[in-house]
Structure 1
Amino acid sequence: MASVKVACVVAVLCMVVVSAHAITCNQVSSAVAPCLPYLRSGGKPSGLCCQGVAKLNSQAKTTADHRTACNCLKTLAKGVGSSLNPNNAASLPAKCNVNIPYKISLSTNCNSIQF
């Protein structure tokens, strides 16, 4: 009986650790909010934009995190609507010198991302 209790405690601790590190859409939205002028008009992304992109990339540690971030980015892009320039969105990581494992695009299949 004691070993079952220990196993349950370990399982709960693992869930807490995993959930504590999961990325949320709020984090994604906050990170890329300073990028909206660039995503709409182009030019050069602001320092705050690139800091947000880099921070978001560093927070996404697992495949699930990257998939969540990808899906959130797609949802945010749809919310911006026709004022979003898809070429600017796709080029944002490179402009900020950040390497992400998928293309930022409405056509990206976020469920296929492996990290």
Structure 2
Amino acid sequence: MAGISSKNKAVVLVGVFAIFLVAMEMMVMQAESADISCGTVTSDLIQCVGYLTSGQGKPNPNCCGGVKKLAGLATTTPARRTVCNCLKKAYSQFPNVNSAAVSNLPGSCGVNLPFKISPQTDCSTIN
């Protein structure tokens, strides 16, 4: 950087640092959505099957723990979309589930999801 004024050096360094930060943020977002798989979603919610098929009573603490864990993982748009798509897939694999119990599951566990768990949910619109 010989021949460049100290002011220009500072501008270049700030620019390089800004590019570095943007690249790091993109890598973190990619890693967050990659950490969530349909296997993770299924294993976190397997304790809910009894409640979701009967539709009676309240979900057990292990079920709610899984729901809360998923909500904690779904902190970015790509992660929320992944969880949504996995839930839709799981929904179709369990034809005997009670649709009211499925819809009420997050609220019954004290969790607020930014989307409704339903086969009709368009996961691509979730932010």
Opposite residue 74 of structure 1, the aligned amino acid is K
Question: Aligned pair 1:64/2:78, yes or no?
Answer: yes
**Residue by residue, what CA displacement relative to the aligned partner does 1:17-61 show, whole Å, maximum 9, x if unpaired?**
333322211111111111000110022101000000001000111
- Return the match for 1:19 from 30, 51, 73: 30
Task: Measure the CA separation in 2 of the matches of 1:13 and 1:24.
Answer: 22
Opposite residue 108 of structure 2, the aligned amino acid is K
Equivalent residues in 2 for 1:1-115 (5 A)? 16-22=27-33, 23-42=36-55, 43-81=57-95, 83-114=96-127
CA contact (8 A) 2:67 2:106 kept: yes
Q: Percent of aligned positions with the same letter in both sequences?
A: 43
CA contact (8 A) 2:29 2:76 kept: no
Aligned residues: 108
Task: Measure the CA separation in 1 of the matches of 2:29 and 2:43.
Answer: 21
Where in structure 1 do 4 or more consecutive aligned residues deviate above 6 Å? none
What SS does the corresponding residue of 2:94 show, helix, strand or coil?
Answer: helix
Name which one, 1 or 2, has greater alpha-carbon Rg. Answer: 2
RMSD across aligned C-alpha pairs, in angstroms?
2.0
What SS does the corresponding residue of 1:21 show, helix, strand or coil?
Answer: helix
TM-score by length of 1: 0.83
